[in-house]
Structure 1
């Protein structure tokens, strides 16, 4: 379908929507920025220098360059020599030209929501976090792009809302841009990167990044804000909760050691959002962020929902085995050396072969040197990995993981069934999967299909009708309104729920 033939085209999703008695909320729609309009706006906002910064970051986002060449310019030998990451290609919809225009023209997108089957959509412009690579222009460019999107989509705020991209190299810049986005621009959802790359101090001291950029490129670690950070991000999270802002991220791990193929994009891509988001979410959990800020709501998008249930299960399993009391099961000081010696005498004669047993070294001899790698015994406060999170029971894990985090599930993702499997998940929990169509990206060649694809899972018995309702309405509605009870004020969602209430 490459031309606009009628005011509204029929679609499978439209047929599904007609059978629902509740609205549909799409938590993840990707839109394009029409570049001449964006550059003109940025020019007026910050002059030619800011436009140059914009062009630089947009032109380098997926072009990993070594020796002055990107992946496509390099020979296979050069790619291996420089370990040049295979980046994506053809990542946007083009053959379906109607959809291409839809993701670029706000009026057309607003008009076509009915064909998609959605009542309300949260928009993630594809370049909203591009300014993170803009160096000294990072904050100014973020502000300009957020302002552009607020102006561009403000007319359609009853159906569409764009996210604000927030830089978090420091908590202070995050707070400044958060307050401007919410208080001045009226934006109400933020998108952040799940981590910030920082230099390893021991390497940076020896090889200052300014003089050794190639060393700095590889010798870094990722600060996930919640644990092991040199910065205190609590003021930022406090401001997020104060302003009632839902936090979202599409945090990927392409380029990490295990996802750094120099030849295959799919190798790097599959599962990378889940891995990146898992690291970010675990940092907030183990750092006690979700304990200190129980009102914080975070959506982890494009990684599926099954990994959230998987981590929840393992958090409980590990806590039960390694909480501060249970971990004493593995304390060498608790071994009964008399019993151990007796058992060796009774059952070990075949391989003792006359050796004299030394009770003072028997434990070390039995476990092996690898069981005693430490230079000293741990202090009491070092034994409990769950201490900062304040975990005293499995219910605490539920509150600080399953209640705080929402997991974006794309329409054709059958693994969403794991999130809804209350028999499988501990405490009978259904982790909160939210419908994220991901339209605008290469994995959705037709925007009219995602809702129908999710309904296919009902017809195939993968999820129930109640699960489907939770996926496309209940959980998304809770995510936004738990952060901000007035999130849907003045929108089609409020109007539809009001009409349904009157009808009832």
Structure 2
């Protein structure tokens, strides 16, 4: 890094808005708020729950027990330690505000840490009370630093009603304006299909709140619209699927936010949420943008083959059986000649196409139609226009999103700056902006792209839902000027 972050910020003609820093909650204070919200008995239950959690239990088990239980290795040594000032900075909002100029940040949205676990808590009472206490605490301890910092509320979503109630509370009662929405819920499967006797095959499924959900989450998305909240997704999938190594935390951790984000993005798209809520902005944080580039391009290519006219080319009723039989006889040789149509065994080679087609006709055939896709360009509207992608400073894929060479329709996916300070990913908080700037120094991105990454995209995400999001902050005037420019550009293009 050729220059400190503060020097780089001084060169820029725009503010830097960090969309994803992290606080490390001080547990004694959190427990005080939990007692205030739910009483001492529930606080004691929470404390006991922490002592017996899977993360804690891992350290008490023998190697043989770990193999038997397949208990994944939990995060460890996850916070700054040798750099004591950075550790304290992640815990003390006033110290964080004091150091923002050193970081080169004008404004930062601060996400929780322990609330990752709170929103996934299976005990309804603990989950709801824990999130309420967390949000009340964050509103309180950030109340004196609103000009430079704003905390993100933790919103549990085990049901739409639960999510709506907490969202209305944090906005209307606490005055919060950013929200970390639990975008994946792990639900027990109620029963196994016929012939499956092993209940382990049917332990749980993942509800992405959008496609095949247990509940209709449209009322919750409507509440986000009504309250001017951009739902931001930060769910984890460590400990699920193949991310269950009992010995390697890094095996479990690397790429898990991207994997969780991709599942949510596919759900929003194929579940039609981005069609039904065409003005609702969603952000998927800390997973980077590389996966999003791949997913977007794949959606475009797959639509050509399995959407609209492309799907009709696959209709089994259009197969010419006479020609198939002729070709089998001519080229099938000793083993295949004369066999076409002689049997109706199960499988893709079955000639019993009529029944298959009739069964399919009773259900939705063009799965892109729910998303409102009538032509490939519509995928830009339903995917790229509605989703923001949180990226850390060292993400080498950012430039590919900022300059759209090779991306379908020259689309610029909205890579959005998220520092992740407070967690082990950041070795030194004061180096983050300088690390991000390296892509400009190295010629992989230009200054206009860097402006999109660190200012325009963060502003579009949140002020696009709530024009007053940055009111009363030190970036208010810059944001107002930017929004006026955007409005003028839209008017000129109309």
TM-score, length of structure 1 as denominator length? 0.88
Q: Which residue of 1 aligns with 2:152?
A: 163
Q: How does 1:45-56 map to 2 (within 5 A)?
A: 45-56=37-48
Q: 1:290 aligns with which of 260, 267, 274?
A: 274
- How far off its partner does 1:359 sit? 6.0
Q: 1:332 to 1:470 in 2, by over 3 A?
A: same
Q: 1:407 to 1:313 in 2, by over 3 A?
A: same
Question: The residue matched to 1:477 in structure 2 has which SS?
Answer: helix
1:202 has 2:186 as partner: no
- How far off its partner does 1:277 sit? 1.0
Q: 2:222 aligns with which of 221, 228, 238?
A: 238
Contact kept in structure 2, 1:13 and 1:116, CA below 8 Å: yes
Q: 2:416 aligns with which of 420, 431, 434?
A: 434
Question: The residue matched to 1:156 in structure 2 has which SS?
Answer: coil
1:265 has 2:249 as partner: yes
Distance in 2 separating the partners of 1:370 and 1:58: 58
Q: Residue deviations 1:328-375, cap 9 Å, x none? A: 222222122333334445x4164469x5x3664499899634997959
Q: How does 1:63-462 map to 2 (within 5 A)?
A: 63=55, 70-132=57-119, 133=121, 134-202=123-191, 219-345=203-329, 347-348=330-331, 350-351=333-334, 357=338, 360-361=341-342, 368-369=349-350, 377-379=359-361, 381-462=363-444
Contact kept in structure 1, 2:325 and 2:341, CA below 8 Å: no
Q: Which residue of 1 aligns with 2:457?
A: 475
Distance in 2 separating the partners of 1:352 and 1:365: 19
Distance in 2 separating the partners of 1:499 and 1:348: 71
Q: Residue deviations 1:219-276, cap 9 Å, x none? A: 1111111011121110000010111101112122212222111211111111111001
TM-score, length of structure 2 as denominator length? 0.89
Q: 1:484 to 1:59 in 2, by over 3 A?
A: farther
Question: The residue matched to 1:486 in structure 2 has which SS?
Answer: coil
- How far off its partner does 1:73 sit? 2.4
Question: Number of paired residues?
Answer: 478
Unaligned runs of 5+ in 2: 485-494
Q: How does 1:32-43 map to 2 (within 5 A)?
A: 32-43=24-35
- How far off its partner does 1:21 sit? 0.5
Contact kept in structure 2, 1:58 and 1:130, CA below 8 Å: no
Distance in 2 separating the partners of 1:87 and 1:449: 27
Distance in 2 separating the partners of 1:438 and 1:329: 47
Q: Residue deviations 1:4-49, cap 9 Å, x none? A: xxxxxx9711111011010000011111222222222322332202
Contact kept in structure 1, 2:307 and 2:366, CA below 8 Å: yes
Distance in 2 separating the partners of 1:426 and 1:471: 20
Q: Residue deviations 1:189-218, cap 9 Å, x none? A: 1102221111111159xxxxxxxxx97997
Q: Residue deviations 1:371-405, cap 9 Å, x none? A: 97959631164311113212111222111111111
Q: 1:94 to 1:330 in 2, by over 3 A?
A: same
Contact kept in structure 2, 1:57 and 1:130, CA below 8 Å: no
- How far off its partner does 1:71 sit? 2.1
Contact kept in structure 1, 2:403 and 2:449, CA below 8 Å: no
Distance in 1 separating the partners of 2:218 and 2:311: 30
Q: Residue deviations 1:439-490, cap 9 Å, x none? A: 0000102100110001111111222222111111111111111111111111
Q: Residue deviations 1:157-191, cap 9 Å, x none? A: 11100011111111111111111100111000110
**Aligned-residue RMSD, C-alpha:** 3.0
Contact kept in structure 1, 2:328 and 2:339, CA below 8 Å: no
